[in-house]
Amino acid sequence: MTSLADTKVKTIALIGNPNTGKSTLFSALSGIRQRVGNYPGVTVEKKVGKLHLKDQSVELIDLPGTYSLAPRSPDEMIAVDVLLGRQSKTNRPDAVLCILDASNLERNLYLLSQILELELPTIVTLNMTDVAQERGIEIQIETLSERLGVPVIPLQANRGRGLAELKEAISQIPSQPKREQHSPFPEEFQQAVGELKTFIEEQEGEPLPRFLCERLLLDTSGYLKEAALTKVTAETETKLANLRTKLSEQGHPVPGVEAVSRYTWINTILDGLVTRQERTKKNWSERLDSFLTHRVFGTLFFVLVMMLIFQAVFSWAGPLMDLIDGGIGGLGEYLAANMEDSALKSLFVNGIIGGVGGVLVFLPQIFILFLFIAILEDCGYMARAAYLMDRLMFRLGLSGKSFIPLLSSFACAIPGVMATRVIENRRDRLVTILIAPLMSCSARLPVYTLLIAAFIPSYTFLGGWLGLQGITMFAMYLVGVVVAVLVAVILKKTILPGETPPFVMELPSYKFPSLKIVFYRMFERGWAFIQRAGTLIFAVTILIWAAAYFPQQTGDIPTEYEPRYIAIEDKQKELANVDLTSEEGKAKQKSLEEMQETLDLDLAAYQLEQSYLGQVGKWIEPVVVPLGWDWRIGCAVIASFPAREVVVGTLGVIYHLGDEQDEESPSLRNTLRAATWEGTDQKVFNVPVALSIMVFFALCAQCAATLAIIKRETNSWGWPLFTFVYMTGAAYVAAFFTYQIGMLFV
């Protein structure tokens, strides 16, 4: 006798076409109780949630949105493997929940017809019944359910309507299905699949699921042979070729037979079930679409939307980031004032608090970008944006879907890389991820601003409309874009080769975005960033702090500073006998404070110089000299590995000004202008050196956060490593030529 618990389902897979509201349904069913991870070896995200029913709890696996279960790549294979229980670290689902778009039932049933062949208990849920109604589409749900042989539940996932009925249906699923075998294929094809199944069982020594045998027969790309079989012999090839030839002779050519059979089946299922009201005029979604994809107005609207997004991520995030910086800085100052000087204090103030700040500071940009992306996705404009931009991106061997991730990378590559999720094609997505960090992000601005203000003369042309400083800034943005285009082309020709993927995709109908979903997605992305990239960014910041802090000079003041230290002590003694309220006392007090301060700054610079970081800086000097840099610049560049903008503060410390310097500080500007090579009076900085540093920063991968997020999105250490190596290499070469060529004109 089996206990009650055994007869209930434990795991359910959720699957559906893109744009059917699948993620919304997933969140509505599992709430915030979800685990996000990756499937091994692929870039597909694994989302698992818990669904609580009256007397049981069910594991819900969210499978990637797809139009068809016909895998041609490892990423597409995941859904099939999970559904057939071939994915080792994922529980085999006891049932499938398939979400269909009621307003586009015909095409959505294609995926369902494949799922019904898996011989798993299935529940169909018809989402967006409101949109369908609005468009005059009436569906007889009971008859549909009878014809399909599975429960069909109408739903409006964004409003939470129909959820109770759906949960009830899930709790009713029997664990042992008694469903007739479904196949939309003609008799001859089914026989061929049976023949292949027997053949493979003999070859492999164990049976292959019928669904995979069918796919094997249909798959002309050759991928499935490698993925599903342990060995592919000449006999296998002959068998497949013979079966296909025979089918072709019988009038069922592979691969065309699949779509023809399934759509014929769909027409039988839907026959007389769906009524459409004849419409004389276009509905609002169609009218909106003819405006939004219009040659002139559509383009104008697109440019406006993109400017708004860019402006928002670029400038609106600024005040929020300052707020986070200020809060973190305040905490640091509080600790600095209330702790004894020690390694622990420095660890807290400069390491830990800096590290936390380094993670949190990205949140405003991530939130704002994903607020917009969620709105665009939910209202249906995202697909149109890709449609409008496809021709342009196609020239780079990419598709229109890469446009928004790349555009947002001009503000910050982190949300940009995270936004590549919309690109289903793995190769396109990887190329976009790899070139996104080349877009000049807002963290490069302080570097550009500082060096341009200090070294580029403020000549203007055309009556003040065009300035040399502005042109230099623009050139830096251009350098990034040009290199990105080159890299995209090279990547497509070398390590990521292949045909440009098809742009055959649905343009969903417009709808009003749901606030709940928009905010949910926004926070989900922010949380994913903290969870998956936060620790790494934090660790790198601590590492760089340690490199600059250790080895700490112990006890004795270095001999060269001793006279000044003694002078200060003498002054203190002297001051003890003077009335501090008198004019003379105040002046002496002030001069003592100044002496103390300069000594502190000099000691900080000395500490950095003899720290591991300083040692490394000196050690790599021969490498950076061809770029026109001295060891101090090299050292500042290394210190800026966690984040580019840190270079400004580090230059401040190295040049004895303290770490409070920012790109607007006149003293830092003047100090850089006056800096000389150690032991000589030759100036370190001139225009070629400044340009060489700027070009280096335009192209380098000095951003631990970006590398961390690339690791998270690609699910491998190889790609962030590759990004770092190629960007640093390109940055070095470009800086080298900038300096060497620049010096010819000086």
Partner 1 sequence: MKTLADCKVGTEGVVSQISGSDEISIRLLEMGLTPQTKLKLLGKAPLGDPLEIEVRGYRLSLRKSEATRVQLVS
**Cα angle: 116, vertex 118, 122; to 5 degrees:** 50
With respect to partner 1, which residue has the nearer C-beta, 300 or 567? 300
Residue 67 touching partner 1 (CB under 8 A): yes
x/- map, 462-501, partner 1, by CB under 8 A? -------------------------------------x-x
Distance CA 397, CA 425 (A): 12
With respect to partner 1, which residue has the nearer C-beta, 286 or 621? 286
Distance CA 468, CA 461 (A): 8
With respect to partner 1, which residue has the nearer C-beta, 159 or 391? 391
Q: What is the DSSP string of 248-283?
A: HHTT--TTHHHHHHHHHHHHHHHTTTEEE---SS--
Site for partner 1 in 122-141 (CB under 8 A): 137
Min dist CB 621 to partner 1, Å, is: 50
- Give CA separation, 738 vs 630, 655, 687, in Å: 16, 24, 10
Beta-carbon contacts of 738 under 8 Å, excluding residues fewer than 6 positions away, are: 688, 691, 692, 695
Min dist CB 478 to partner 1, Å, is: 22
Choose, by CB under 8 A, the member of 72, 345, 564, 669 that binds partner 1: 72
Residue 54 touching partner 1 (CB under 8 A): no
- Within 611-717, residue ranges assigned H as helices are 612-619, 621-624, 631-639, 646-654, 666-674, 687-699, 704-714
With respect to partner 1, which residue has the nearer C-beta, 503 or 519? 503
Residue 248 touching partner 1 (CB under 8 A): no
Encoded tokens for 445: 């601005």
Spatial contact of 453 and 669, defined as CB atoms under 8 Å apart: yes
With CA atoms as reference, report the closest residue to 195 among 206, 210, 179.
Answer: 210
Please give the DSSP secondary-structure letter assigned to residue 125.
Answer: E
Backbone angles phi and psi of 57, in degrees to 5: -125, 140
Distance CA 48, CA 55 (A): 20
Min dist CB 83 to partner 1, Å, is: 18
Choose, by CB under 8 A, the member of 4, 504, 576, 746 that binds partner 1: 504
Min dist CB 400 to partner 1, Å, is: 8
Choose, by CB under 8 A, the member of 45, 134, 195, 390 that binds partner 1: 390
Choose, by CB under 8 A, the member of 198, 220, 552, 582 that binds partner 1: 220
Residue 402 touching partner 1 (CB under 8 A): no
Encoded tokens for 166: 């759906």
Min dist CB 388 to partner 1, Å, is: 6
Backbone angles phi and psi of 233, in degrees to 5: -100, 170
- Within 13-118, residue ranges assigned H as helices are 22-30, 74-83, 105-115
With CA atoms as reference, report the closest residue to 327 among 304, 278, 361.
Answer: 361
With respect to partner 1, which residue has the nearer C-beta, 290 or 460? 290
x/- map, 297-316, partner 1, by CB under 8 A? -xx-----------------
With respect to partner 1, which residue has the nearer C-beta, 382 or 708? 382
Choose, by CB under 8 A, the member of 38, 68, 183, 686 that binds partner 1: 68
Helix axes 317-338 and 363-379, enclosed angle (nearest 10): 150
With respect to partner 1, which residue has the nearer C-beta, 305 or 413? 305
Residue 221 touching partner 1 (CB under 8 A): yes
Min dist CB 504 to partner 1, Å, is: 5
Distance CA 614, CA 626 (A): 19
Backbone angles phi and psi of 495, in degrees to 5: -80, -15
> How many residues lie near partner 1 (CB under 8 A)?
46
Residue 379 touching partner 1 (CB under 8 A): no
Site for partner 1 in 568-627 (CB under 8 A): none
Residue 565 belongs to what H/E stretch?
helix 562-576
Encoded tokens for 238: 């002959």
Residue 86 touching partner 1 (CB under 8 A): no
- Give CA separation, 389 vs 396, 421, 479, in Å: 12, 17, 22
Residue 99 touching partner 1 (CB under 8 A): no
Where does this chain touch partner 1 (CB under 8 A) — which range of 390-398, 515-523, 624-632, 642-650?
A: 390-398
With respect to partner 1, which residue has the nearer C-beta, 297 or 619? 297
Where does this chain touch partner 1 (CB under 8 A) — which range of 63-71, 603-611, 667-675, 706-714?
A: 63-71
Residue 392 touching partner 1 (CB under 8 A): yes
With respect to partner 1, which residue has the nearer C-beta, 462 or 504? 504
With CA atoms as reference, report the closest residue to 312 among 232, 229, 214, 410.
Answer: 410
Where does this chain touch partner 1 (CB under 8 A) — which range of 196-204, 339-347, 506-514, 623-631?
A: 506-514
Beta-carbon contacts of 397 under 8 Å, excluding residues fewer than 6 positions away, are: 431, 488, 489, 492, 500
Helix axes 22-30 and 163-171, enclosed angle (nearest 10): 70
Spatial contact of 450 and 669, defined as CB atoms under 8 Å apart: yes
Residue 186 touching partner 1 (CB under 8 A): no
Residue 202 touching partner 1 (CB under 8 A): no
With respect to partner 1, which residue has the nearer C-beta, 369 or 383? 383
Distance CA 383, CA 398 (A): 15
With respect to partner 1, which residue has the nearer C-beta, 263 or 736? 263
Distance CA 516, CA 529 (A): 20
With respect to partner 1, which residue has the nearer C-beta, 383 or 450? 383
Residue 237 touching partner 1 (CB under 8 A): no
Site for partner 1 in 263-302 (CB under 8 A): 263, 276, 289-290, 293-296, 298-299
Min dist CB 677 to partner 1, Å, is: 53
Choose, by CB under 8 A, the member of 273, 505, 543, 616 that binds partner 1: 505
Backbone angles phi and psi of 125, in degrees to 5: -125, 125
Site for partner 1 in 507-546 (CB under 8 A): 507-509
SS (H, E, C) 600-617: HHHHHHHHHHHCHHHHHH
Min dist CB 73 to partner 1, Å, is: 10
Q: What residue ranges bind partner 1 (CB under 8 A)?
A: 67-68, 70, 72, 103-104, 106-107, 110, 137, 220-221, 254-256, 258-260, 263, 276, 289-290, 293-296, 298-299, 383, 387-388, 390-392, 394, 400, 499, 501-509
